[in-house]
Amino acid sequence: MLQEMAGELFGASQPTVSRYGTLLRPVNRSALKQLGFGIARLPCGEPVPVDGFLAPCWD
């Protein structure tokens, strides 16, 4: 449902949103590590601030 909503917001299909999420997950992980945050330290199931907006953290 979240990917469908993001697709509508950005004018893309849910599969496209899913593919981009899969491609960008390692990039996000690397950037967070450089900032001193590991993926395991993020609050599971709660939104986290990302570039000025609250992003859901579900993994």
pLDDT of 12 > 90? The answer is: yes
pLDDT of residue 34: 82
Q: How many domains does the chain have?
A: 1
Q: Which two tokens stand for residue 54?
A: 């609250």
Contacts of 31-40 spanning 24+ positions with Cβ under 8 A: none
- 2-6, 18-22, 26-30, 51-55 — most confident range: 18-22
Average pLDDT over residues 28-42: 74
Query: Does residue 21 surpass a pLDDT of 70?
Result: yes
What is the average pLDDT score of the chain? 79
What tokens appear for 47 in the block? 């939104």
The pLDDT score that the predictor gives to residue 41 is 63
Range of the domain at 45: 2-55
